[in-house]
Amino acid sequence: MTATHVPGQPVLEDGQLISTNPATGEEAGRVKVADTDAVNAAVEQARAAAVWWQGLGWDGRKTRLLRWRSLLVERIQELAELAHRESGKPVTDGVMEVAAAVEHLDWAARNAKRVLGPRRVRTRLLVAEHSGHLEYQPFGVVGVIGPWNYPIFTPVGPISGALAAGNAVVFKPSEYTPVVGQWLADTFAEIVPEHPVLQVVHGLGDVGGALCRSGVGKVAFTGSTATGKKVMAACAENLVPVVIEAGGKDALIVDEDADVAAAAEAAVWGAMTNAGQTCIGIERVYAVEPVYDRFVEAVVEKAGKLRTGEEIGPITMPRQLDIIRDHIEDALAKGGRAVLGGAEAVQAPYVAPTVLVDVPADSSEIREETFGPTLTITKVRDADDAVTRANDTPYGLGGAVFGKRDGIRIARRLRAGMVAVNGTLTFVGMGNLPFGGVGESGFGRIHGEDGLREFARAKAITVRRAKSLLPAMTFERTPAQVNQIVKALRLLYGRKP
């Protein structure tokens, strides 16, 4: 590689994708780039592998997925260090990312049969002579397009759900973290060597587009809202259904009876973890007037102790540095104040923790996803004012509330797919809870029962079990039988509840 290459920026060279550490520029690894023919071939191989995988049944798939889970646990340090080499994030953050992935993989493997297995459902009046049955059938092949900020945990969510449901998977990792993606596929192949049930294809955005058009049954995407719209457009060409987990501008509300010290600690974690490169990261805080000053002081004190290169890793995507700087400068130009950090906090490849106050609502730091270790804190009149401001965004991914008396009631009013009360980001640690957003943050769910159902088609089956006493669905019915049906309807449903 030449000196002109920017550390962390993906490089295509001689048919290979070269990945480098954004902090040091050291090479993390090389992977082969796929073209459209290679993507299509992978999907065809996956389609055949899916037949075998489905044939293993619920218990067979569960056993293999739990073995993969155990392998991830045994090699957790190796994977965390690889994530550090490729993305720059602290090794300890990588460890926690693997831990969260293991939790979701374990839950999907153990619960797929219960959630998706065939069951009998109660019959209804008009077809009382039939029994009803419901089952969930896999799509066959699912395409997963993963992000760079959490290259382990985030793709393992839809991958584990899709595999547990009986699908084969073709995974396109981010071009910024391809080596981690390859590691996941390689270790799965150690557990399941018989067929290519989980494959990986590498490249830039065109490879993701090829995957959308390759004939997969469904696509699960995680990334920016802008790219999510491109994925939807590509999938729409063939009516391929999608799960879109896009950007966020998550807010934390601090109510008047909140534990201020705990709220400050959680706000700093929610805003600064992974150098702020978290779709569900806390980017805005609305603190009610009685606790505002104490909260700001506590946040500045805690965030001021964090050090770049240690607790705060580098910005993985080099061009994101300009966005972060622009947002900070826009906030300051419009009257905001930096009580920690500021525009000078952006020193490539790092951004030091930055806390801004008095930022007007029309600034980009309030309106747009920053994706860096910055936090705005706004004084509000009361919780109602805070909810109104928190919901004043096209995004709706996650959020948080600190308060004793009304915490849950406030959480229910936030326009978001997930909300933590007296904590931040905690919902990602529960494998049985769904994850996803509304509005510009996307739609569909991964994780939990709703996440499993995303990767299978509901199929209804009715079976005749007796002669029709009230034949409804036949040209052989008589006027007298129609009258009997009307009488039965009036008897059962004619009275108001």
Q: Which residues are catalytic?
A: 245, 279
Q: Which strands form 337-340's sheet, in the order they lie side by side?
A: 337-340, 354-357, 374-380, 282-288, 250-254, 399-402, 420-421
Cβ–Cβ < 8 Å for 359, 376: yes
Instruction: Give the integer Cα–Cα distance in Å for 72 and 184.
Output: 9
Q: What are phi and psi of 121, to 5 degrees?
A: -120, 155
Beta strand ranges found along 202-340 (DSSP E)? 218-222, 242-245, 250-254, 282-288, 337-340
Single out the residue of 35, 43, 165, 184 nearest to residue 111, CA to CA: 165
Instruction: Give the integer Cα–Cα distance in Å for 309 and 205.
Output: 30
DSSP 482: H
Cβ–Cβ < 8 Å for 245, 446: yes
Beta strand ranges found along 346-468 (DSSP E)? 346-347, 350-351, 354-357, 374-380, 399-402, 420-421, 442-443, 456-464
Other CB atoms within 10 Å distance of the CB of residue 353:
27
